[in-house]
Amino acid sequence: MNTTSSRPHNPLLAAVLSLLIPGAGQLYIGNRSRAIAIFVTILACGGLIYWAQDNFRVAVGGSTAIALWILLACFAIWNIFDAYRHARGQRSNNLIGLLLPTLIIYIIA
pTM: 0.84
pLDDT tens per residue across span 43-93:
999 999 999 887 766 455 567 788 899 999 999 999 999 999 999 999 888
Give the containing element (helix H, strand E) for 62: helix 62-87
Per 3-state DSSP, what percentage of the chain is helix, strand, and coil (rounded to 5)? Answer: 75, 0, 25
